[in-house]
Structure formats: C-alpha cells, structure tokens
C-alpha cells in the first residue's frame, strides 16, 4: 500500500474561504481517478473537485460546511500503485485553465455587480457570519457560568479576552469591553440607510413564505450594491432595424446550414462591440482607488439570461473575434447551459460590458442596473413598426428601443448620447455588421 | 378511480434520487400530503399528492433515480376529489420548509429532559406540544429510575442504620418487611411527582399528546395514540426519547429475568438475586435487595466494580458489600442462563467462576442503549450512530438544524441532570436565544451505601491524560461528624491544577457523598482554587467540612491531621 498522499484544494479561480457543500466520499472508500471528492460552492457556481488519482481514501480531513481555499487539505489518499501521484493538487474539472483570461479576481462580473472590497457595502450586506468562536479556548477560559452565558448571548469569544478580575478572571465587564471594542473600531461607516418598514402581512390576509433562490440572494446583494454605489443615468433611443431584420430573414437559411438560429441579439452584440471600440470608456472599470479608469483591451460581452433559478449573466469571451454566426453559436450554448444550471464559474467571469434584452417579451424602455464594476449596460426592449417621417412622407419602419444605463462618475451625458446614436446608426446600417 | 401519480416537472434538475418514500400501500392520503422526498444536487423536495385517496401500489423505492414522468404510485382517488391526474403541481422550492399549519415546537419524550425543554420553551413564549408514550409524564427517571430507586434505597438505609446500632446499645430486633406496603409507598412518592408534572404542564398550556412517535419526514412525526394514528407536522423538534436497558442476547425469555424497572417492582418471592453488571444501577439495586434480606450475587465482566471510577473511591463500598453479599464475582460472565421451574440456573465463566447456581431473579444491568433508532430519527435525516445515539453540537442541534437532541439519546453521560441542562439550552435556542451547553463538569453519584460521587476530572483520567495535578485527601476517620453517625470508611479527595491550584475534579465516598459533591461542582464552574475552598468557613461538625479539609490538606494548612512536611 502506498503511503497516503495529501489531496489539496486546487486552483479555484482565486476564491477564498469557499464553502464545502457536500463531501462525496468516506474514509476507506475506493475511488477512481477523476471521481468527485467534494463539492464547493463559490459565490458564482458550484464545482466538484475530482480525485487526482485512483486509490483508497485513508482519511477525509474536512467536513460539510468547512471553508476552504486553494491548498486546503481535503483528504489523505492511498493511491493505487502505478498511479501518478505527484500532482496532488489537480485542476478542477469545472474550471478550465482559462486563468490566462485577464480576469482580476476583484473585477469578476456576475448577475449584478461584484462590489469592490473597499467600497462601503458593509451596511447593505447581510450580517456577516458570526465571528468564529474558538471553542477549545472558550471551554478553558477563566470565567464563571453566568459570564459564559453572557458571552454566548453576545457571541463573544471568551478565549480572546484577558480577564481583569482577580487572578485574571474574566468578568462580565470584560466581555462588554471586548464587544464595545469591536463595535467602536472604525469599521466600514455604517451608513444609516432608512429602513423599509416591516409589516406583518398575515394580518391583512393569507400569505405564503417562499425563500429566495440561492441565485436571487446572491444577485440581490450585488444589484443593491450597484444601485447604491453607482450614480445611474439611463439614455434612451430607438434604432431603425428594418434593414437589419430583412437581412436577418434573408440569412435564415444560411444560418440554419451553419446550425444556428440568428437572433437579433447576435446583431446587437456585434453592433455594441463596434460602439465599444469607438468609445473605449464604456469598456472600462474604475480601479479600487476610484481615481483611475481601467480601460480593457478585450471585449467580453455578458448577457442576462433568465433561468428557472434566477438571473445569471454568462460572458462570451473575446466576442470581437467572432463573426455573427460565432456569436449566435455562443449565445445558444450559454443560454442552454444557463437554463440547465450548468454554467461554470469561469463562464460568468471577466465581462466588460453587459446586454440585457427583454425584446422577446415586450416593453418600450426600462432602466437596467449596471453590472458593476462595469460602467454601462445596454437594455433592449421590443421592436415595433412605427411611422417615421422620411423624405416628405411617413413610412413604416421597424424601430428597436435601446436603453443605456451608465455610471455617471465615468461617463458624461453627451458621451452617452453619442454612444447610443452611434449604436443605433450601426444597427440601421446592416452592412457594417455582416 | 385509479390515478397514476408521476414525478412532476423538476425544473432544471436531472437524475434526482428518491431520498425517502413517505407512503405505503394502503395508506390513506390527502391532497398535498408528501409522497416521496427527492434530492437533486441543489435541494431536497417533497412531491405532494395531487389527489386524496388510498395508495394502491407504490412504484418507486428509496434510492431509485427519478425524472419528470417517473411513476410514483397509483392511487384510488376519492370520488369527489378533483383529480387533475396528469400533472401534479410542481413542488415549490419552499417545500424544504415546514408545511403550513405545522406546530411551532414538538418535544419528543417527557422525561426530565423532555419536560424541562417543554416547560422552558413554554416559559419563553413558544407554543409547545409534548409527546409521551406512557400515560404519565416523567420518563424513566421519575417512574422507573432515579426516584423510586431512591425511595427504596432510603428504606434500605433505615434498615441498615438500625442494624448498625445494635452493637452500640440500640437493639430493634429483626425488621418485619412488608414488600407490598413498601412498594405502595414508593409508588405514592412517584405519583406525587408525576402528578405535579401534569399540573405544571397544564399551567404552562403545554399540549400533551400521548402516543408512540416515529419520524416520517424532516418536519413530520407519525404518532400512534390510543385513539389511532395521528400525523404531527412541526417547525422545530427537540428529541428527548431517552434510552432503555441493554438486553443480553441468548438469555431465556422469562419474566424472572428483569431489568432495573422490574427490580423496582420488588417481587415478593425473590430470595436469591443475581445482578449482572457491577455498575451504578446494578449496585444500587443490589443494595436495596441486600437490605431486604435477599441473598445477592454480583457478576461483573471487568476486573473492578464501577469500571472507570477511581479504585480508591470504590474500595470502601467493595469492602462493605463483600462482607454482606453472597458473592462478588469479577472478571466473570454468565455463560448460560437456564430457566427452570424452581429458579434460573446461571453458569459462570471466568478465572474465579463457581459452579452453576440457582436464582429467583436475574437483574440485567449492563448499561443502557439510546433510542435513536426506535423513533426512526433517520427518516427526518437525523444522523443516528450504531448505538442509537444522535450527535449534537454545542447548541444541542443535530445535523438537521431545526431538530435538537438532548439527554440519554444524545449520548453519555446518561444522567437526568445532564438532560435537564441540555433541555434548557435546546429550548432557549429553539426560542431564538443564543444559548450553548458550556458546563465544565457533570457530577455522577452512586447511591450505594456508602455513596460514591465524583465530578470533573477523576484521578484515573488525570493520570491517563498526563495532567499535572495535585491532590488533597481527607479521610473521614478524622471527621467528628462521620464518627458520630457511626461511619468511618469515607474520604474526600480533591484534584487541583498544579500551576493555578484551581480545582479540576473531586471524588467523595461516604454517607451523603452525593450531597457533598455539589460544592465541588460549583467550585469547578467558578474556577475556585484550593485557598478559595479552604478559606471558606464550613460549619462544624458537618461532613461538608471534609471538603474544606481536603483543600487544606493540599494547601498544607490542615490541622485536623498531622501531615509530615512535604
């Protein structure tokens, strides 16, 4: 029997303190190479960590609910003889080695926004998980039962308190002092957002409590962070897509030969990339200091996808290198994966601009919330035939409503208007897109 | 009308597994009763019945893989029930929470843990339902454990004290013992306490349900009440279902083979008693029967009585009962037990084993097993180990966060006073408070004669763990109080942390040791050191003085004994 090797958490895309939501193996279990060992849940996705080698589990070293980072010990594995054992920390199956993509962990994008760590979001974030209590130290602390009970009520870790009582005994005042100390440390300024009133709805009639889905909970926080932190302005316009629609219809046969369905969204993405190339400030983010603009030289386009579990934003990487059919392919692939809940974390990272299209449903305009730390988002509503006054007469034209929300700290109103005008012109001039 | 019930649309989940089948063939079900529990990679969900009726057949079993459309069961639907047979409604994602109308808190078991949890939660404003399988509250402790046994042990003490004074000028003559009246008195003591409990439950508006309950889902218990089967949904549950005497396999199924409950019934025809198991329970009952004039034999498999307890604490007891009992057989097991009309014939096995002997009763007191499996806790997703024990965290939560476990079922030590304190923690946590079980010491008492009590670290454990400890010991032969009650075999022993002089444990053997140990429990919890106890003035002459003397012995300030300088 080989000496057990350590199996460690592999590179998980820069995430730290990721929750173990499932431990799939037990001590003594025989496993094959690549069979899943544990399931991790990041803010963005769940992923399995596969076995680096076949063998027998000597001892599982973590349990459900533990927090892990890259390099954390998962288990000891007695690898089968002959199995390669030197790479104890394999790449997880679910994250392809796409780390090359210039995705700074802080600039990761997702349903709404990934607030900068320095931004004062503490107030809006749900109460941080109660500070871990060192139970060992707690059980040895020189404190009477009443003081221990008091410490439990406040969630204070007795092990961290140096008692001021006789012979170092921890008094109730010592516990208070610890908590006061923590509260008065200059933490993120607790901005006093006025609270929405809490109402007992049941007093007005029958109600049903339904918890938000996991994705809704995550995206909710991010949407709120974006809404609070970014001064949003929305610029509306209409693009004449009569020619575009004609071209799209004409290309349908060709598209189906290519095996794709050519949707208006593919054209809109193509046009947006041209606009972003013309107006680079829209393909940018503010850095952590808020004083520099990070202009991105890549065009990774996110699109909001509606799934049974909630809103997700898959990202088409380097979309500027794709032609219309390539974009249409990517759209179809990612939408399918999103609906099946199979998007990987990496496939939702690294966006530089986001498009939210409600064109298939309806509406004339809306104000999309920016997928911070991006600085702009394009909302697309439903196109309709409208009379347009042209060369002395009203003619029916197919008009597509566009709504561009932008971060006013980065983008001026005139610039936004120019961007949208450019975009609608590009959409009207279908040849530029083909 | 026969209806096929199929797995509904599951959203994006494929390849879900059947975690639990909640219905059986022939079961009467109502619309929205859960049929099966499915588990996808994201969540577990119940599939509710689309119809009311009787299950004709169940087509799926635990562990099966299911997808939308998989046949679950065929139901003979009630005629009037609207039966949209085709597509049962999609289970809401919220089905992983308690069903509507669920009880706020159900406490399962009304022993000391259960009733304490129920009463504490009620006092905190929680609506509580208490389920008990026996007609009276109180559990093992009140009905067939601590309380009745203490009544009988008191009787034993009266007899023995009277005997002991014979040599000192007070001669009563042999006692006349009427076991029936003694038993009736014991029952009155029990009744007083259990009736008191019923009153306390009423005053707190705790709803008491009588019946035997089993879990059928994470939020559901099925209770067999005297009026029939009843389903109880709950939002939170505290399991306090206790333990039962461990049985020995291979023994004849004979009414003369009894457990501690049977022993408390004081059979009139028992003149020869074999006690299997030299632990606390066995030795307490041996003590009672010995005082009543029964010839007692104790068999213990290990090489010492009360295994795990410091040997020096057990020695005074052993010396006394060796003289009084017929036999104490260590390192011995009962290899066979044969039921004969005139008695139970036991065959012993071991280095000192005597030949076969006949007994009127055989008391099996080899330990207690937790009831985790008897209540199907696993059906709620609660992890139960091989011994029936349910693991809990500091807040007494099981692996299922809305279900708590306390008392014997949550593991050793199986003591009522551990259960009651756990009960308060669980009840407070269930009521939203942030309590935790932070006790540092749980006292143990053997109500033998002499009594043995200990708390905190015992010396055997201190040695095994390599602790740096100091010891203060005071023999009761030097206690005026002990001598004046005609006893001199006891002693008080306290263990201290060598560095801080704080008390880490204590053991006492002698009359009333169980009462005396309380002070040392408080001392440990308060972090008292040797001087704190030694300098606390204890009344003279009391047995409690021996606690202070033991601390003085460690401090070197003791004057009631001469100790050569260390």
Mean pLDDT of B529-549: 96
Domain with CATH 3.50.50.60 in chain B: 103-244+370-430, 257-366
Architecture of domain B257-366: 3-Layer(bba) Sandwich (3.50)
Q: What pLDDT score does B39 carry?
A: 74
B401 touches chain A (CB under 8 A): no
Q: What pLDDT score does A5 carry?
A: 82
The CATH T-level fold of domain A5-91 is OB fold (Dihydrolipoamide Acetyltransferase, E2P) (2.40.50)
Q: How far apart are CA A433 and CA A178, in angstroms?
A: 64
Global pTM value: 0.57
Architecture of domain B103-244+370-430: 3-Layer(bba) Sandwich (3.50)
Domain with CATH 2.40.50.100 in chain B: 2-88
Q: Do A214 and B42 touch (CB under 8 A)?
A: yes
For domain A215-432, give the CATH superfamily: Chloramphenicol acetyltransferase-like domain (3.30.559.10)
Mean pLDDT of B400-419: 96
Phi, psi at B522, each rounded to 5°: -60, -40
Q: Which residues of B touch A139 (CB under 8 A)?
A: 438, 440
CATH number for domain A138-183, candidates 3.40.50.300, 3.40.50.1370, 4.10.640.10, 4.10.320.10: 4.10.320.10
Binned at pLDDT 50, 70 and 90, residue B42 comes out as: low
CATH number for domain B444-555, candidates 3.30.590.10, 3.90.870.10, 1.10.1060.10, 3.30.390.30: 3.30.390.30
pLDDT at B296 over 60: yes
Q: Do A169 and B435 touch (CB under 8 A)?
A: no
Q: How far apart are CA A128 and CA B277, in angstroms?
A: 52
Residues B448/B284, Cβ–Cβ less than 8 Å: yes
Q: What pLDDT score does A113 carry?
A: 38
Distance of CA B414 to the CA centre of its chain: 4
Residues A212/A195, Cβ–Cβ less than 8 Å: no
Mean pLDDT of B495-520: 96
Q: How far apart are CA B305 and CA B319, in angstroms?
A: 11
Q: What pLDDT score does A56 carry?
A: 85
**So what's the ipTM on this one?**
0.71
Report DSSP letters for A206-246, one per residue.
-----PPPHHHHHHHHHHHHHHHHS-EEEEEEEEE-HHHHH
Q: What pLDDT score does A187 carry?
A: 54
Instruction: For residue A196, give every residue at least 6 positions away whose Cβ sits within 8 Å of its Cβ, in sequence order, or none.
Output: none
Measured between CA atoms, how close is A197 to chain B, in angstroms?
Answer: 22
Q: What pLDDT score does A88 carry?
A: 39
Mean pLDDT of B228-252: 95
Taken in order B310, B312, B316, B321, the sign of the CA dihedral is positive
User: If you average pLDDT over every residue of chain B, what do you get?
Assistant: 90
Q: Mark whether B402 is an active-site residue.
A: no
Q: What pLDDT score does B293 carry?
A: 93
Out of A4-8, B199-203, B401-405, least confident range: A4-8
Token representation of residue B245? 């005497």
Domain with CATH 3.30.390.30 in chain B: 444-555
Domain with CATH 2.40.50.100 in chain A: 5-91
Write the burial class of residue B68 (CB in 10 Å: 0-12 exposed, 13-18 middle, 19+ buried). middle
For chain A of 434 residues, list the mean pLDDT of each consecutive stretch of 10: 75 76 84 82 72 85 84 84 44 36 36 36 33 83 92 90 90 90 68 78 89 82 90 95 92 86 92 95 91 93 87 92 92 90 84 92 93 94 93 93 95 95 93 82
Q: Evaluate whether the domain defined by B2-88 bears CATH number 2.40.50.100.
A: yes
Residues A147/A153, Cβ–Cβ less than 8 Å: no
Residue A380 pairs with which residues in a beta bridge? A357, A402
In B4-23, the residues whose Cβ lies within 8 Å of chain A are 11-14
CA distances from B542 to B155, B479, B495, B552 (A): 23, 8, 21, 16
Report DSSP letters for B419-482, one per residue.
HHHHHHHHHHHHTT-------S---EEE-SSS-EEEEES-HHHHHHTT--EEEEEEEGGG-HHH
Peptide bond into B43 cis (omega under 30): no
Distance of CA A370 to the CA centre of its chain: 13
Q: Which residues of A touch B94 (CB under 8 A)?
A: 208-211
Report DSSP letters for B3-64, one per residue.
EEEE----TT--SEEEEEE---TT-EE-TT-EEEEEE-SS-EEEEE-SS-EEEEEE---TT-
> Which residue from A145, A213, A340 is facing B525, i.e. has the nearest CB?
A145
Selected for mutation to probe chain B from A23, A137, A142, A149 (highest B CB count within 10 Å) is A149
Distance of CA B381 to the CA centre of its chain: 22
Distance of CA B12 to the CA centre of its chain: 46
B188 touches chain A (CB under 8 A): no
What is the Cα gyration radius of chain A? 27
The nearest alpha carbon in chain B to A339 belongs to B12
**Residue A431 backbone zone (phi > 0: left; psi -120 to 50: alpha; other: beta):** alpha
Write the burial class of residue B440 (CB in 10 Å: 0-12 exposed, 13-18 middle, 19+ buried). middle
Q: What pLDDT score does B17 carry?
A: 80
> Which residue from B11, B435, B500 is facing A152, i.e. has the nearest CB?
B435
Q: Express each pLDDT in B436-485 by its tens digit.
A: 999 999 999 999 999 999 999 999 999 999 999 999 999 999 999 999 99
């Amino acid at each position: 029997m080989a000496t057990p090797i350590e199996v460690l958490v592999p590179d998980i895309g820069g995430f730290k303190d990721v929750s173990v939501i499932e431990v799939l193996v037990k001590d003594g279990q025989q496993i094959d190479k690549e069979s899943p060992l544990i399931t991790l849940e990041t803010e963005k996705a769940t992923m399995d960590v596969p076995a680096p080698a076949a063998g027998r589990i000597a001892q599982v070293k973590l349990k459900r609910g533990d927090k892990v980072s890259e390099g954390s010990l998962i288990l000891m594995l007695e690898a089968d003889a002959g199995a390669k054992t030197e790479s104890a920390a394999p790449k997880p199956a679910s994250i392809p080695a796409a780390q090359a993509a210039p995705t700074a962990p802080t600039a990761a994008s997702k349903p709404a926004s990934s607030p900068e760590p320095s931004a004062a979001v503490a107030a809006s974030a749900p109460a941080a998980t109660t500070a871990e209590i060192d139970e060992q130290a707690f059980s040895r602390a020189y404190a009477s039962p009443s003081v221990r009970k008091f410490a439990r009520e406040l969630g204070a870790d007795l092990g961290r308190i140096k008692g001021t009582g006789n012979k170092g005994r921890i008094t109730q005042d010592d516990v208070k002092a610890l908590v006061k100390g923590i509260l008065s440390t200059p933490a993120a300024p607790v901005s006093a957002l006025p609270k929405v009133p809490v109402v007992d709805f049941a007093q007005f009639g029958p109600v049903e409590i339904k918890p938000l889905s996991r994705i809704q909970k995550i995206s909710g926080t991010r949407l709120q962070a974006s809404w609070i932190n970014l001064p949003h302005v929305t610029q509306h316009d209409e693009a004449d897509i009569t020619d575009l629609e004609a071209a799209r219809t004409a290309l349908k046969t060709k598209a189906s030969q290519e095996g794709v369905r050519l949707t208006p969204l593919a054209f809109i993405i193509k046009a947006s990339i041209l606009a972003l190339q013309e107006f680079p400030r829209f393909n940018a983010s503010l850095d952590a200091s808020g004083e520099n603009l990070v202009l991105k030289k890549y065009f990774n386009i996110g699109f909001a996808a509606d799934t049974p579990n909630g809103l997700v934003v898959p990202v088409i990487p380097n979309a500027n290198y794709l032609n219309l059919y390539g974009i249409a392919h990517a759209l179809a692939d990612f939408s399918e994966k999103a609906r099946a809940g199979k998007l990987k974390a990496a496939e939702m990272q690294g966006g530089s601009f986001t498009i939210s299209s409600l064109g298939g449903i309806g509406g004339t305009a809306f104000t999309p919330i920016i997928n911070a730390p991006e600085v702009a988002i394009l909302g697309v509503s439903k196109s309709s035939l409208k009379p347009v006054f042209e060369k002395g007469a009203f003619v029916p034209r197919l008009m597509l409503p566009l709504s561009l929300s932008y971060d006013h700290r980065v983008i001026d109103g005139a610039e936004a208007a120019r961007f949208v005008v450019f975009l609608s012109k590009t959409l009207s001039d279908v040849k530029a897109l083909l | 009308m026969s209806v096929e019930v199929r797995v509904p649309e599951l959203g994006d989940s494929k390849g879900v597994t059947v975690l639990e089948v909640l219905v059986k063939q022939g079961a009467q079900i109502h619309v929205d009763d859960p049929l099966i529990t499915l588990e996808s990679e994201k969540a577990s969900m119940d599939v509710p019945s689309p119809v009311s009726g009787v299950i004709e057949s169940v087509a799926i079993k635990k562990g099966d893989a299911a997808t939308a459309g998989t046949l679950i069961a065929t139901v003979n639907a009630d005629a009037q029930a609207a039966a949209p047979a085709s597509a049962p409604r999609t289970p809401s994602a919220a089905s992983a929470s308690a069903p509507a109308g669920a009880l706020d808190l159900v406490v399962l078991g009304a022993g000391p843990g259960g009733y304490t949890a129920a009463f504490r939660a009620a006092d905190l404003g929680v609506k509580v339902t208490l389920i008990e399988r026996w007609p009276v509250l109180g559990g093992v402790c009140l009905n067939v454990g601590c309380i009745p046994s203490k009544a009988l042990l008191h009787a034993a003490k009266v007899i023995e004290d009277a005997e002991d004074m014979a040599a000192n000028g007070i001669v009563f003559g042999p006692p006349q013992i009427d076991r029936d009246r003694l038993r009736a008195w014991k029952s009155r003591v029990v009744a007083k306490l259990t009736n008191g409990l019923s009153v306390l439950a009423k005053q707190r508006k705790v709803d008491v349900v009588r019946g035997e309950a089993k879990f059928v889902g994470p939020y559901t218990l099925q209770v067999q009440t005297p009026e029939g089967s009843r389903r109880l949904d709950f939002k939170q549950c505290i399991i306090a279902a206790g333990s039962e005497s461990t049985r020995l396999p291979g023994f004849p199924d004979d009414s003369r083979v009894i457990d501690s409950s049977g022993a408390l019934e004081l059979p009139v025809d028992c003149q020869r008693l074999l006690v299997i198991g030299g632990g606390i329970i066995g030795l307490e009952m041996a003590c009672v029967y010995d005082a009543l004039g029964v010839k007692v034999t104790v068999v213990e498999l290990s090489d010492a009585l009360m295994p795990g307890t410091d040997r020096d604490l057990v020695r005074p007891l052993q010396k006394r009962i060796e003289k009084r009992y017929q036999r104490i057989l260590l390192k011995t097991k009962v290899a066979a037990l044969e039921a004969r009309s005139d008695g139970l014939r036991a065959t012993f096995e071991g280095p000192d084993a005597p030949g076969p002997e006949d007994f009127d009763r055989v008391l099996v007191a080899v330990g207690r097993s937790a009831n985790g499996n008897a209540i199907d806790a696993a059906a709620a997703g609660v992890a139960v180990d091989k011994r029936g024990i349910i693991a809990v965290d500091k807040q007494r939560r099981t692996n299922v966060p809305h279900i708590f476990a306390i008392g014997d079922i949550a593991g050793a030590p199986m003591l009522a006073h551990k259960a009651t304190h756990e009960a308060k923690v669980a009840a407070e946590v269930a009521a939203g408070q942030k309590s935790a079980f932070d006790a540092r010491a749980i006292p143990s008492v053997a109500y033998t004669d002499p009594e043995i009590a200990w708390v905190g670290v015992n010396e055997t454990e201190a040695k095994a763990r390599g602790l740096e400890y100091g010891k203060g010991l005071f023999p009761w032969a030097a206690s005026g109080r002990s001598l004046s009650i005609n006893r001199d075999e006891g002693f008080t022993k306290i263990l201290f942390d060598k560095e801080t002089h704080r008390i880490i444990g204590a053991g006492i053997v002698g009359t009333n040791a169980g009462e005396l140990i309380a002070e040392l429990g408080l001392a440990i919890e308060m972090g008292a050191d040797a001087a704190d106890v030694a300098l606390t003035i204890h009344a003279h002459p009391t047995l409690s003085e021996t606690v202070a003397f033991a601390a003085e012995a460690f401090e070197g300030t003791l004057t009631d004994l001469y100790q050569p300088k260390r």
